[in-house]
Amino acid sequence: MVEGLVIGVLGGVALAWSMGYTRFGADGIPMLGLKVTPLHAGLLLIAGTLALLACLGRRTALTFSALTAFGWAALTIVCENNVSHHVPGILGFDLRDSFVYGVLSAYNLVTSLLLALTLFKYGRED
């Protein structure tokens, strides 16, 4: 739930700010040390909303955490590739973005492992 709130609020504020901030470059606007483009903000907002919806059940949370762990890891690899070629792309990839995506991937991997252990240990959903 905390991940959904943090990412959703960050994405929503960044999206609103990028819509009102008329002078942002191709690499995005500065926000909390990140360069956020409108598409990047939308991605964070959608991921945060889905994370909140995934809290409705353990199986749903497990599935969401496992899928997003791989998704954030893939985004980390793409981001690192674009950073190494000095091409920000449509999401405004930056070295700091790859760190955030890596942290989100690790967090979701640990969350999915803990959920899987508790779900399969007790064998029922609460």
User: Residue ranges of the domains in the chain?
Assistant: 2-122
Distance set, CA 5 to CA 29, 34, 53 (Å): 21, 18, 11
pLDDT averages per 10-residue partition of the chain, 126 residues: 83 78 61 74 87 87 91 89 77 78 91 88 62
What is the distance between the alpha carbons of residues 32 and 68, in angstroms, rounded to a whole number?
22
Model pLDDT, residue 27: 56
What pLDDT shows up at residue 10? 82
Q: Residues 24-27: contacts with CB within 8 Å, 24+ apart?
A: 26/88, 26/92, 27/88, 27/92, 27/94
Would you state the pLDDT for residue 105?
Answer: 92
Q: Read off the pTM.
A: 0.79
CB 43 within 8 A of CB 69: no
Kind plus residue range of the DSSP H or E element containing 35: strand 34-36
What pLDDT is stored for residue 21 in this prediction? 64
DSSP 41-89: HHHHHHHHHHHHHHTT-HHHHHHHHHHHHHHHHHHHHHHHHHHHTT--T
The residue type at 115: L
Report the C-alpha gap between 70 and 101 in whole angstroms: 10
Tell me what pLDDT residue 107 has: 92
Q: Which of 83, 79, 47 is nearest to 65 (CA)?
A: 47
